[in-house]
Amino acid sequence: MVTAVVSEGQAQPQGAGDAAGAGVKGGFYRWLVVAILFAGYCFSAIDARVLTLMVEPIQRDLNLSDFEISLLQGFAFSLLYSIAALPIGRFVDRTKRRATLIVWGVIFWSAMTAACGFTSSFIGLFLARVGVGVGEATLSPTAYSLISDYFERRRRALAISFYAIGYPIGGGLALLIGGWLLVRFTKMGGVTLPLLGSFEPWQMVFLCVAAPGLIIAALMMTIREPARQEVAANLSAQSSLREGFAYISERWALFGSLIGSLALIALLAIGTALWFPTFLIRSYGMSPAEVGMSYGMVMLVCGTTGTLAGGWFAGRLMQNGRADANMRVVLIATLLKGVPLIIAPLMPTAFWSLVMMAIGTLIGQASQGVMLTAIQDVTPNQLRGQVTAISLLFVNLVGMGLGASVIAAITDFGFGDQAALGYSIAIAGAVALPLIIGLLLVALPHYRRAVEG
């Protein structure tokens, strides 16, 4: 089935845009919107990732295994994140107040992050992490939909890449800020708050990183609703979730390879990022503060530079007539990042391990923004929220849900030795990367036909 898409400048169905959206497309304001969404993504990453630096004290206080920690880092967060994203994606495609959804999402995930600081059991922490995932599920489907309406296709990859750098920056800040807070509260021997009682250092870290949520929510309230662009003429303005699944299933080769490769990229990236700080502590005797500073800077500098470079490079290729520029960037980045990522946890010293991880992160993050941009480019406006949500369903079930647990399972059930964590990270990379490359090679010709046709 060929889907006719109404481009910018053509008539749109009634209700596609409103007065609030008039005149906001173009100029400074749309980049301000990207900056606000970036800030939200950054703080969502901090709240999601700050636990990675506190594995050791949480394990000690709650008597948890690596596998149980992996459930808190991955499965608990992704469980309802993935499920909640589906109705959220449908709401995004139907509503004229997309930013309001993010406002409530920020408030909810911040409250659940604070709840992590009030719990003192595995079950309580697990449920609070589930809540964080539900709240954060409101952000990306809405953000990608908004950005795609504010930017034309040739500039969309760079705009989405600016939004996407929020996650590596937030991940880096989670390590830097989390490490500093953990050291500070550890030196204090914990904190006793009036009327609330005593808190362990790791509990105080959760309470502190939850606090900026109200500021982020207030910023989200300033986003105006843009007119919807690239509306498909043969789809209703109120498309159902069934239509989203039908659209994907009719193009199963394209979306199967796109979403499959994206999910495996997430599995490797998230699993490595979640366990690498613990690996540095166990294998090289680094302190949490040292790991927070060194690996945090790798995430901040290399993650940010790589993501922006990928968006810029895709834009340049597109200007030179490469319609499949986004997928080309993803394939090149995946081919080049393999060796440094696999050998990073096998290095004899912490310095060389971090150097290899820095190279792998710099190259690998080039695909961060452009991969989801590629999915936006082959999806009509009425289905972007839902298709993004369906994509994130698999990304989070496979990437967040299994990424941390696969590495932990290799360590606990394969080697039976926590000191073998580095080998587990290397094995995960050696197995996942050839599968990712294979799926990308399958996706490339289908994607090229879709964007050129």
Per-residue pLDDT at 171: 82
Comparing CA positions, the residue from 419, 400, 399 lying closest to residue 410 is 419
Indicate which CATH number applies to the domain containing 123.
1.20.1250.20
Beta strand pairing call for 231-232 and 5-6: antiparallel
Asked, for residue 222, whether it belongs to a domain, the answer is yes
Comparing CA positions, the residue from 166, 360, 357 lying closest to residue 280 is 357
Comparing CA positions, the residue from 279, 254, 258 lying closest to residue 428 is 279
Per-residue pLDDT at 106: 95
Task: Output Rg (C-alpha) for the chain, integer angstroms.
Answer: 21
Asked, for residue 6, whether it belongs to a domain, the answer is no
Per-residue pLDDT at 424: 92
The one-letter amino acid at 6: V
8 Å CB contact between 288 and 281: yes
* 198, β-bridge pairs: 192
Report the predicted TM-score, pTM, of the whole model to 2 decimal places. 0.70
> Domain total for the chain?
1
Asked, for residue 382, whether it belongs to a domain, the answer is yes
Q: CB within 8 A of 364, min separation 6: which ones?
A: 269, 306, 333, 334, 337, 341
Per-residue pLDDT at 73: 75
The two structure tokens encoding residue 14: 């009634």
Asked, for residue 4, whether it belongs to a domain, the answer is no
How far is it, in rounded angstroms, from Cα 322 to Cα 157? 13
Neighbour tally for 211: CB within 10 Å: 11
Asked, for residue 131, whether it belongs to a domain, the answer is yes
Per-residue pLDDT at 169: 87
Q: CB within 8 A of 56, min separation 6: which ones?
A: 278, 281, 288
Encode 61-77: b = buried (16+ Cβ within 10 Å), e = exposed.
Answer: ebebebebbbbbbbbbb
Encode 422-435: b = buried (16+ Cβ within 10 Å), e = exposed.
Answer: bbbbbbbbeebbee
Domain that holds residue 305: 24-230+238-452
pLDDT in tens, the chain (453 residues): 333 344 433 333 333 333 334 334 457 899 999 999 999 999 998 998 888 878 888 998 898 888 888 788 777 777 677 777 778 877 887 778 888 999 999 999 999 999 999 998 899 999 999 899 888 888 988 998 899 889 887 788 788 888 988 888 888 888 888 888 998 998 888 888 888 888 999 999 999 999 999 999 999 999 998 887 766 555 555 556 677 778 788 888 888 888 889 889 888 888 888 889 889 998 999 988 888 889 888 888 898 899 888 888 888 888 888 888 889 999 999 999 999 999 999 999 999 999 999 999 999 988 877 887 888 788 877 777 778 777 877 877 787 667 778 888 898 888 888 888 999 999 999 999 999 999 999 999 988 888 876
8 Å CB contact between 77 and 133: yes
Asked, for residue 8, whether it belongs to a domain, the answer is no
Asked, for residue 13, whether it belongs to a domain, the answer is no
Per-residue pLDDT at 438: 93
8 Å CB contact between 329 and 320: no
The one-letter amino acid at 170: G
Per-residue pLDDT at 66: 81
8 Å CB contact between 371 and 387: no
